[in-house]
Structure 1
Amino acid sequence: MTARPHLRTRVLLAMSMGVFCVQLDAFALIFALPRIGADLGAQGDGVQWVVSAYLLSTGALMLGAGRLGDLLGRHRLLVLGLSLFGAASLVCALATSLPMLVAARVAQGVGAAVIMPVGLSLLTNVHPGHLRGRATGLALGVGGIATVCGPFVGGALTETISWRAVFWLNVPLCALGALWASHTTEGRDTTAARHIDRRGLLTATGALAALAVLLDHVRHGAAWTESALGALLCATLLGAFIRIERRAPHPLVGLALFRNGPYVALTLTGAVANTATVVFLFVVPLSLQGRWGFSAVAAGTAFLLPALAMAVAGPLAGRVPTSGAVPTMAACLGGGALGLLGTALASDITAHLIAATFCGAVLGLANALTLIATQGVIRPERAGEASGVTKTVITVAAGLGVALAGSVTGHGHRAVGAEAAADTALPAAAAGCATACAALLLWRRAVRVRARRAEGRDVGEDPYRRAGDSST
């Protein structure tokens, strides 16, 4: 289903506001945590939950939110998500204690979990095929600006005004987004007759919450026994979810989705790219301050060029045709591996920034392409389900990236941490990108071989794949 041009514009504006706020609040408070702790009288590691609570609640709820949008109406849930995010931001801005702030951050995470997959599927459904990629790319480009500039903006607002200004900024933006989203309508998946797979929703959310908490504990150096128990709980819930989905008449996630080869390939390799991006975003600003001796303001200013390259990549990804998504993703992963190595091995600041800018561009393109291209190989009526799965996978990957970066940057003197990060985390991320690139190319070759062998056979229709889409 497509909507009239002015309604499509409102959806694009609403999603752009939403993704900007969601991505900004994921990174803007990193440098503000000491000030938050001092202002609220918090001591020890408790203040870290200001960031962790937001990321954990977002990652745990995205899967269910995407499918609920398909069933209950995407524009309604987008309005709800934006309204909740704005209201929670207001509570954050007025928080008088750390528990109050953390609770509001959890509510923000719930809103973010609704906004991202539901907004992506709404863009897919209201735009005609030739405009879907471009519209999604524009919205993700706005989010890219918030992602890469978040730490700098948060630090600047904290120093000049207050950390509360980050949350005050969200309130009018979310209100505008909710207003725009309320002025459109779109179809829903009537085949499921509004049957909600409650058992699947509960077990999936529980498994993702357990995994998110496990990643957070690993990042903070949890004991192996605690980590093993968390992994066991996660695996048990995941197994229960799979059994439920196999038997459910209207599953939360149809397992046939994972027989869509292009979707699975792009999602998994996109997760690797997202992991590398998180490592890049954490390590390079730290390296500018430690290895190269920049002040926090100077490092933020120097990082604006890689940030701009990453932001521009979003709209460019929207121009990649569906048939070219896999080779473009492979090229981005290969370029990302080279860029990450170049950033780590650069012998002077000019070469370091050039490599970082190139790296920002190709990783930004890969991340935007993951969300755009996976929507292109899925039927629109299942767009929310697919975007929920994709966002969940890459959010979990982001948690792994945080753990990898934190394992080498979270201890010791800043300069030592920067050297360790450049020498360890960046090459590790480069190796992951190179491996994913090789795997994607091998998969593509295997698909072509199978396609040639199967010419003339009637292989049936994949209920998740869009008509006319190529598997390569």
Structure 2
Amino acid sequence: MEQHRKQPARGGSAVWAVAITSMAGFIAALDNLIVTTALPSIREDLGGGLEDLEWTVSACTLTFAVLLMFGASLGDRFGRRRLFAIGLGIFTAASASAALAPGMGELIAARAAQGVGAAIVTPLTLTLLSAAVPAERRGTAFGIWGAASGIAVATGPLIGGTLTEHLSWQWIFWVNVPLGLALIPLALLRLDESHGPNPSLDLVGTVLASGGLFGIVYGLVRGNADGWTSTPVLGGFFAGTALLVGFVFYELRAKHPMLPMRLFRHRSFSALNAASLLMLLGMFGSIFLLSQYLQIVGGYSPMEAGVRMLPWTAMPMIAGPPAGALSDRIGGAPVVTVGMALNAVGLCLWALAVEPQVSYTSLLPALIVCGIGMGMFFAPSANLVMSTVRPEEQGIASGANNAIREVGGAIGVASLAAVFSAQGGYGSASLFVDGLVPALWAGAGAVALAAALALLMTGQRKADGPTAGLVAAGGNPAGAAAAT
């Protein structure tokens, strides 16, 4: 049985819980996009190629994706406060290692470790916050927590660009260190310990999923360099696919599976998760390239590029609330479908507008359309996930959806970068655009397919509980984390 405190949370304890979990959520969400505007500076300083930049992003998102539900299980078994502090310690140490990295290999390893820490911290922020705050005040508490993560996602490229331009790219990682060091003792002193009802750990499932996804992404990253029919690339695809098939079969028979396959019997759940993967594939892969385009081709400084990304990254905070209200009236499925369609249109506008010499105003409509589409997707999709499963399955369903989004983001960076490098490169502005345009069309196609899959979603049941939508966001109400 889960251990709860015998007395209701005191006001001071609840305030500390809100502050600690919101700040932890902020730095974990910030790490998703803060690196994007620093990529050209990292490449110039450490001498990495395109595949190194891909792994700089994907190493973190992959480890986060495959360990997200495992991190929550660790907290249930060994104590949520204890694992929360350990996760913060891993994330903080990995951030310092990334800042001190002398080469791309060390940086990629540190980024993977950051993903491990974030995978432990992120799911535990909600459980710790829920345990500390009385039910009648949880709406306000989760609103503060969600706003902190949303602000981090919206301002990530700007903060990353500002730190890179005025200090150095290393400071996008150093900024996490004092925050992490301050949060660890506060968590141990101010948060109460609790355990979950299911202390089992799916070690085999975690290893199979991790190995399978690594094999697929490795094949995509190395395809152009080694040749798509080379032994390492084909081996990566074959081994990755085999391990993922093995993961599915194992989860079907496991007593306590990390990802219960029975959830996918519901057509809407399957359709929404497949659509979410394709949506983040197209969007995150495009952001990876477009943040570099603004600096390499547009000639903007890192901070200027971050400012010019705001109509895209910050728009979901504006479009999200009315999209959520509209979904309450007409249902989430049509709103999510339209949001995906708008994202596909926005990427098409980007593909039509980008040139070696183009004004920012010509790019602005694409940014705004993509931002509105993201807001319409993320706001209702959380409750859609919850509505497709039984109340007792909502936690694991939301974790699965968030993990699938992160996987989509990692595959998106690898696949769109593969299209880019097959057609273009970093040699000149014209060469960069030659690769960017087909990559954007590929991203638009993936998002358009996501919108088509979203049409398969049926009517939804109302999600139970005041925190359902927030839990479904997996610790990042602005998305992917997500993904993005």
1:172 to partner: Cα distance? 2.5
Match for 1:330 among 326, 329, 337?
Answer: 337
Contact 1:117 1:391 in 2 (8 A): no
**CA displacement, residues 56-99 of structure 1 (integer Å, 9 cap, x when unaligned):** 43334234224444554444433322222112223333445665
Distance 1:329 1:172, change over 3 A: same
Q: Distance in 2 between matches of 1:47 and 1:439?
A: 33
Does residue 1:438 correspond to 2:449, yes or no? no
Q: Distance in 2 between matches of 1:325 and 1:274?
A: 18
Counterpart of 1:393 in structure 2 is: 404
Does residue 1:210 correspond to 2:211, yes or no? no
**Structure 1 residues 52-451: aligned runs within 5 Å:** 52-95=58-101, 100-119=106-125, 139=145, 142-147=148-153, 149-178=155-184, 181-182=187-188, 183-185=190-192, 188-190=195-197, 192=198, 194-218=199-223, 223-225=228-230, 226-289=232-295, 294=300, 296-313=302-319, 321=328, 324-346=331-353, 349-367=360-378, 369-371=380-382, 373-375=384-386, 378=389, 382-410=393-421, 411-420=425-434, 423-444=437-458
**CA displacement, residues 231-285 of structure 1 (integer Å, 9 cap, x when unaligned):** 2212222233233323322222222222344433332222222223213423444
Amino acid at match of 2:207: L
1:170 to partner: Cα distance? 0.3
TM-score by length of 2: 0.75
1:188 to partner: Cα distance? 5.0
Q: Distance in 1 between matches of 2:136 and 2:276?
A: 23
Contact 1:36 1:47 in 2 (8 A): no
Q: Distance in 2 between matches of 1:46 and 1:267?
A: 27
1:220 to partner: Cα distance? 5.7
**CA displacement, residues 196-235 of structure 1 (integer Å, 9 cap, x when unaligned):** 3333333233323333433433476654332221122122
Counterpart of 2:481 in structure 1 is: none
Distance 1:37 1:422, change over 3 A: closer
Contact 1:63 1:205 in 2 (8 A): no
1:336 to partner: Cα distance? 1.7
SS in 2 for 1:253: coil
RMSD: 4.1
SS in 2 for 1:443: coil
Equivalent residue pairs, number:
449
Contact 2:340 2:450 in 1 (8 A): yes
Gap runs ≥5 in structure 1 = 452-464
**CA displacement, residues 328-365 of structure 1 (integer Å, 9 cap, x when unaligned):** 21121122223222333359643520331231132144
Contact 1:93 1:165 in 2 (8 A): yes
Distance 1:414 1:289, change over 3 A: farther
Q: Distance in 1 between matches of 2:89 and 2:33?
A: 21
Segment drifting more, 299-308 vs 354-363: 299-308
Q: Distance in 1 between matches of 2:329 and 2:240?
A: 34
TM-score by length of 1: 0.77
Distance 1:372 1:274, change over 3 A: farther
Contact 2:347 2:443 in 1 (8 A): yes
Distance 1:403 1:152, change over 3 A: same
SS in 2 for 1:249: coil
**CA displacement, residues 393-427 of structure 1 (integer Å, 9 cap, x when unaligned):** 11221122212432354414442245335632333
Amino acid at match of 1:59: A
Amino acid at match of 2:168: S
